[in-house]
Amino acid sequence: MSTTYLLRGVAPQGGDRTDVRVEDGVVVAVGADASADGATVVDGDGLVLLPGLVDLHTHLREPGREDAETVASGTRAAAAGGFTAVHAMANTSPTQDTAGVVEQVWRLGRDAGWVDVRPVGAVTVGLAGERLAELQAMARSAAAVRVFSDDGKCVHDPVLMRRALEYVKAFDGVIAQHAQEPRLTEGAQMHEGVVSAELGLAGWPAVAEEAIIARDVLLAEHVGSRLHVCHLSTAGSVEIIRWAKARGIAVTAEVTPHHLLLTDDLVRGYDPRYKVNPPLRTAEDVEAVRAGLEDGTIDVVATDHAPHTREDKDCEWAAAAFGMTGLETALPVVQATMVDTGRLTWADVARVLSATPARIGRVPGQGRPIAVGEPANLTLVDPAARRTVVPERQATASVNSPFAGTELPGAVVATFLRGRATVLDGALVDAPAGVRA
Amino acid sequence: MRHLLSAGDLTRDEAVLVLDTAAQMAATQGREIKKLPTLRGRTVVNLFFEDSTRTRISFETAAKRLSADVINFSAKGSSVSKGESLKDTALTLQAMGADAVVVRHPASGAPHTLAHAGWTHGAVVNAGDGTHQHPTQALLDAFTLRRHLVGDGGRADATGRDLAGAHVAIVGDVLHSRVARSNVQLLHTLGARVTLVAPPTLVPVGAHAWTADVSYDLDETLATGPDAVMMLRVQRERMSSAGGGFFPSPLEYTRAYGLDGRRLAVLPDHAVVMHPGPMNRGLEISADAADSPRAVIVEQVANGVAVRMAVLYLLLAAGEPRTAPAAGSGRDEARTGVRTDETRVHA
Ligand SMILES: [Zn+2]
């Protein structure tokens, strides 16, 4: 199987057309030097070449909920979506709160071979929010954990949050906070506002997110730590992050594709595919997160890919699980909302979906420039394609996509993980796992 | 009307049609033989995931007086409490050939899911879902209001009339009330003006978009001379911090928002007092108010049967899936249908 490719006539980060030669896992030539000798030629006419995408926020569900997703199925979905690295969130069963569990997930990822799996370590034991997990052990493990999060739950105790922010400085870690004041969101089912009032669903107020973010940026400033804010969703949160950055606080923030596109109006049909945490917000919030992503207040787009079994969604709203799949629709949604609207260039897309998330997660060899000598983690995109989302045809094991039936622009034509094609001609390249390791 | 899920789904003409049909149903209920053969051979399932003997009995009586077969399916307390079970229950009912499913569920939107997930083909009637909707309650309230406020206080025929110009105060726990949500929508559709009266903690964020005024002061609202005061049930546990801590004490609530004899005396002579039941006497309503001649609370219960007969009749007997009836024609159709049945009863 060839590991030498010539990507002919591609536009790196949307720039001028050129040829890129990939050999032995590395970009060996760009431009006139790039020969086709002994290489598989990929016709890249009209295609955009991006550094392989890096997701800071993925739920792979293994161990524990292999009925919804496994490391193998989730990382296949990631490759199909153009990703070469994902951060696997800690809310597994058992929880990723020990070196043993994060190493298990890391090994499952390595053996599957679709993307680099970077396990996220739990901040607190069992995500219980009571005492710190052994963060240093996870950092020093083979999984080399750098991102710690109780995602799904908020580290709401201010002392515990302070300690966590301080403690991870010893190994260049970062706390990724799921900002949700628990008392203000007891029983919450959707965004609190006009729609929740009408539907009689308990509200998840914007202030429950904003109050935690405001507190956390001040804590991060006080102890001189970096802080990452997961999936911010409200106009007020964008304002707080903007203020914190102007003040010089080391905070980064992410937004999900669904919060860039969907609003709480969709809940009117009580379809649990639209049930997610944080909830879909208003059109004003959607505009604010787009503006925040455009002006750099928001650093990255992260999927919060959250697969769920059919039985967890095929029910009344209140009984349904929170979350939606997103790995295979992230890039199309970003193109639809940010690129096709002229708000981001493809170079910006490379920044928010690859370079910056790799930097925040301290992921070696990912999110690098497309240049000679760099690892060949690459994604080739056809921006002119248009596809209707059919969850049953996706690689993820679950079908809870909020974009089912929606036509979105852009398609991943090829994905290369260290020079090896995981996607080629728009299709996953299945090969024995041993080849991948 | 294919289903009845929300009071907001009804057009003005559809709502008036239900009220007119209910009036005809009520007329038959004064007779010695109350039973009509209209729904003979049809099956109505009362699917209750939440206890409500009052509502269940009302629907059961309505269906039986229309000669339907009634199956009561109480899913509360069994292992049936979560998701898949709503689906399985619906599939079971479908297999049994339910023509209509009357559903009461603690989760807002559950009847909507039942109607739209493709699990059952029967008509779905929302008998109260979470804190969302209770459309037949709003219809019976509108029916009761029309009897008292329209057509010269019941002396003239109110057929075809709505509630244009009436002013209704709805008082109490609006936040958790499906009765309030349904009434706000239906009363607006029928041309009435609504003032919601509650402590600010019990008014939902977002209620500013509703077709109703909001007041925090009951005495001020009563001084404007509303035509009707509808008291909502307030659960005592709402005051505890575990229950949300919405008000400091029952006494403070009663002082500010309870309807007692003194407040009753402020109302115009023609004004009526309503309550969806069950009442907390001494909390939101005093015995003086509940038992006064102005109170039409017992009448509401009787009207509930007539309105539910009308709803079942319109969903199951008045033709196949229908949209808003063309002005006049639908009404005539309904009236004709009922008269035919009466004829049969007396034949
Ligand atoms: Zn989260």
pLDDT value, residue B157: 84
pLDDT digits over B303-321, tens only? 999 999 999 999 999 764 4
Kindly determine whether residue B107 and residue A319, on different chains, have CB atoms separated by under 8 Å: yes
Asked if the C-beta of B73 comes within 8 angstroms of chain A's C-beta atoms, the answer is: no
- What distance in angstroms lies between residue B23's CA and the mean position of ligand 1's atoms? 54
Q: Burial, B9: exposed, middle or buried (Cβ in 10 Å; 0-12, 13-18, 19+)? A: middle
pLDDT value, residue A41: 96
Interface of A with B in 301-330 (CB under 8 A): 311-312, 314-320
Kindly determine whether residue B83 and residue A319, on different chains, have CB atoms separated by under 8 Å: yes
pLDDT digits over A90-102, tens only? 999 999 999 999 9
pLDDT value, residue B241: 77
Give residues with Cβ within 8 angstroms of B255, minimum separation 6.
none
| DSSP class of B295 | B
Give the gyration radius of chain A's Cα atoms.
Answer: 21
- Parallel, antiparallel or unpaired: strands A174-177 and A227-229: parallel
Evaluate if residue B112 carries a pLDDT over 90: yes
Contact (CB, 8 A) for A340 and A295: no
Evaluate if residue B81 carries a pLDDT over 80: no
Cβ pairs bridging A and B (under 8 Å): 87
Asked if the C-beta of A205 comes within 8 angstroms of chain B's C-beta atoms, the answer is: yes
Interface of A with B in 257-276 (CB under 8 A): 269-270
Asked if the C-beta of B82 comes within 8 angstroms of chain A's C-beta atoms, the answer is: yes
What is the percentage of chain A residues whose pLDDT exceeds 70?
Answer: 98
Give the gyration radius of chain B's Cα atoms.
Answer: 20
pLDDT value, residue A409: 98
Chain A residue with minimum CA distance to B178: A200
pLDDT value, residue B75: 76
Taking alpha carbons only, the member of B182, B204, B172, B178 closest to residue B280 is B172
Query: If pLDDT is split at 50, 70 and 90, which confidence band does A434 have?
Result: very low
Evaluate if residue B156 carries a pLDDT over 80: no
Which residues on chain B are in Cβ contact (under 8 Å) with A312? 83
The catalytic position among A116, A216, A285, A304 is A304
**B121 or A372, higher pLDDT:** A372
pLDDT value, residue B237: 79
Q: What residue type is B275 in one-letter code?
A: H
Contact (CB, 8 A) for A213 and A237: yes
Give which of A198, A266, A281 to mutate to test B binding, by max B Cβ within 10 Å: A198
Give the distance from CA B156 to its chain's centroid.
24
pLDDT digits over B17-62, tens only? 999 999 999 998 888 888 899 999 999 999 999 988 999 999 999 9
Name the average pLDDT for chain A.
96
Evaluate if residue A137 carries a pLDDT over 60: yes
Nearest to A318 among B108, B133, B178 (CB): B108
Contact (CB, 8 A) for A423 and A79: yes
Kindly determine whether residue B207 and residue A197, on different chains, have CB atoms separated by under 8 Å: yes
Kindly determine whether residue B205 and residue A192, on different chains, have CB atoms separated by under 8 Å: yes
- Which residues have CB atoms below 5 A from the ion given as ligand 1? A 151, 178
Evaluate if residue B153 carries a pLDDT over 70: no
pLDDT value, residue B242: 77
Which residues on chain B are in Cβ contact (under 8 Å) with A202? 131
Q: Phi, psi at residue A175, to the nearest 5°?
A: -90, 125
pLDDT value, residue B239: 76
Contact (CB, 8 A) for A151 and A230: yes
What is the percentage of chain A residues whose pLDDT exceeds 90?
Answer: 97
Mean pLDDT of A248-273: 98
pLDDT value, residue A383: 98
Smallest CA–CA distance, residue B333 to chain A, in Å, is 32
Nearest to B84 among A192, A202, A311 (CB): A311
Smallest CA–CA distance, residue B244 to chain A, in Å, is 10
Evaluate if residue A145 carries a pLDDT over 80: yes
Query: If pLDDT is split at 50, 70 and 90, which confidence band does B335 have?
Result: very low
Give DSSP secondary structure letters for A374-425.
Answer: SB--EEEEEEEEEEE--GGGSSSS----TTTT-EEEEEEEEEEETTEEEEET
pLDDT value, residue B151: 75
Mean pLDDT of A152-159: 97
pLDDT value, residue B56: 95
**B174 or B91, higher pLDDT:** B174
B104 is an active site residue: yes
First to last CA, chain A: 15
pLDDT digits over B192-235, tens only? 999 999 999 999 999 999 999 999 999 999 999 999 999 999 98
Chain A residue with minimum CA distance to B243: A186
Q: Which residues pair with A177 in a beta bridge?
A: A229
- How far is residue B75's CA from residue B90's CA, in Å, rounded to a whole number? 12
Q: What is the pTM of this model?
A: 0.91
Mean pLDDT of A64-84: 97
Taking alpha carbons only, the member of B169, B154, B135 closest to residue B15 is B135
Give residues with Cβ within 8 angstroms of B189, minimum separation 6.
B7, B8, B10, B11, B12, B15
Of the candidate ranges A22-31, A232-241, B313-322, the one whose mean pLDDT is the lowest: B313-322
pLDDT digits over A355-373, tens only? 999 999 999 999 999 999 9
- How far is residue A147's CA from residue A179's CA, in Å, rounded to a whole number? 16
Taking alpha carbons only, the member of A182, A187, A171 closest to residue A209 is A182
Which residues on chain A are in Cβ contact (under 8 Å) with B205? 192-193, 196-197, 203, 205
Give DSSP secondary structure letters for B30-52.
Answer: TSS-----TTTT-EEEEEESS--
Which residues on chain A are in Cβ contact (under 8 Å) with B116? 269
ipTM of the complex: 0.87
Contact (CB, 8 A) for A416 and A378: yes
- What distance in angstroms lies between residue A337's CA and the mean position of ligand 1's atoms? 22
Name the average pLDDT for chain B.
88
User: At which residue do the structure tokens 């596109």 appear?
Assistant: A261
What is the number of alpha carbons within 13 Å of residue A101 lying toward its C-beta? 23
